[in-house]
């Protein structure tokens, strides 16, 4: 069975983006970029993979990406940001999307459960906080790029009402840039 993996950058105070949905405060230079991207190149937008000469690299971790409408519609975003993955956007609003981006408008938990039951690589939940809060019962693993910055306010890692859920740290990697890469899994 595939896992639902919430892989996201987060601030020290638990935000995945500023209030306006941007993430300019995160550290985009340093040894963590090469180190993490070498393992998780399948999470790079398709245009960046092409710029790095990775367009033909096989996906090693994920073959499916799940995102909320706000994550999909970030300022300057692409119509098909992860064309090398099967793309799903969770939204109750009608969106004009290309054929390779599928909308999920209802029974999100049921749809995620059916995706997890399919054969394939894991499913990447790339945001946002409200969707992560809703899908917490189905999240099997957290991959957190913890950046040495405080936003003070913004979009939380998990937004909304959620039950207490325990995870166990299974890996930790520290970088000179100050970014920590932490892996947590359900016990």
What is the pLDDT averaged over residues 24-49?
91
Domain, as residue range, for 84: 62-166
**Residue given tokens 């991959």 in the structure block:** 143
What is the pLDDT averaged over residues 177-182?
97
pLDDT given for residue 53 in this prediction: 85
Q: How confident is the model at residue 21 (pLDDT cuts 50, 70, 90)?
A: confident
pLDDT given for residue 161 in this prediction: 82
pLDDT given for residue 13 in this prediction: 98
Please give the structure tokens belonging to residue 112: 């995620």
What is the pLDDT averaged over residues 4-26?
94
Domain-located, residue 30: no
Domain-located, residue 98: yes
Helices (H), ranges, the chain = 31-39, 46-51, 69-72, 108-117, 129-135
- Cα→Cα distances 48→28, 72, 102, 126, Å: 14, 16, 22, 16
What is the pLDDT averaged over residues 40-66?
91
Give percent of the chain above pLDDT 90. 75
Domain-located, residue 153: yes
Backbone angles phi, psi at 10, to 5 degrees: -145, 145
| CATH assignment of the domain containing 116 | 3.40.430.10
Mean pLDDT computed over every residue of the chain:
93
pLDDT score of 75 more than 70: no
CB 153 within 8 A of CB 40: no
Number of domains forming the structure of the chain: 1
Determine the Cα angle at 115 with ends 9 and 17, to 5°.
20
pLDDT score of 172 more than 70: yes
Domain-located, residue 135: yes
pLDDT score of 74 more than 80: no
Domain-located, residue 48: no
Lowest average pLDDT, out of 29-33, 73-77, 137-141, 174-178, goes to 73-77
Domain-located, residue 160: yes
**111-139 pLDDT, tens per residue?**
999 999 999 999 999 988 999 999 999 99
Domain-located, residue 44: no
- Annotate 116-155 with b (16+ C-beta within 10 A) or e (fewer): beeeebbbbbbbbbbbbbbbbebbbbbbbbbbebebeebb
Domain-located, residue 68: yes
């Amino acid at each position: 069975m595939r896992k639902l993996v919430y892989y996201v950058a987060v601030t020290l105070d638990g935000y995945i983006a500023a209030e306006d949905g941007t993430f300019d405060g995160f550290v985009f230079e340093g040894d963590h970029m090469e180190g993490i991207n070498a393992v998780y190149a399948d999470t790079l937008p398709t245009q960046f993979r092409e710029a790095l000469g990775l367009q033909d690299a096989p996906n090693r971790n994920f073959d499916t990406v799940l995102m909320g409408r706000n994550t999909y519609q970030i300022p300057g975003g692409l119509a098909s940001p992860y064309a090398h993955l099967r793309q799903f956007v969770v939204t109750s609003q009608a969106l004009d999307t290309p054929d390779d981006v599928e909308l999920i408008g209802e029974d999100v938990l049921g749809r995620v459960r059916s995706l997890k039951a399919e054969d394939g690589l894991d499913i990447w939940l790339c945001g946002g906080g409200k969707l992560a809060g809703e899908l917490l019962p189905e999240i099997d693993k957290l991959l957190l790029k913890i950046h040495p910055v405080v936003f003070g306010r913004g979009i939380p890692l998990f937004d909304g009402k959620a039950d207490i859920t325990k995870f166990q740290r299974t890996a930790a990697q520290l970088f000179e840039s100050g970014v920590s890469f932490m892996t947590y899994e359900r016990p």
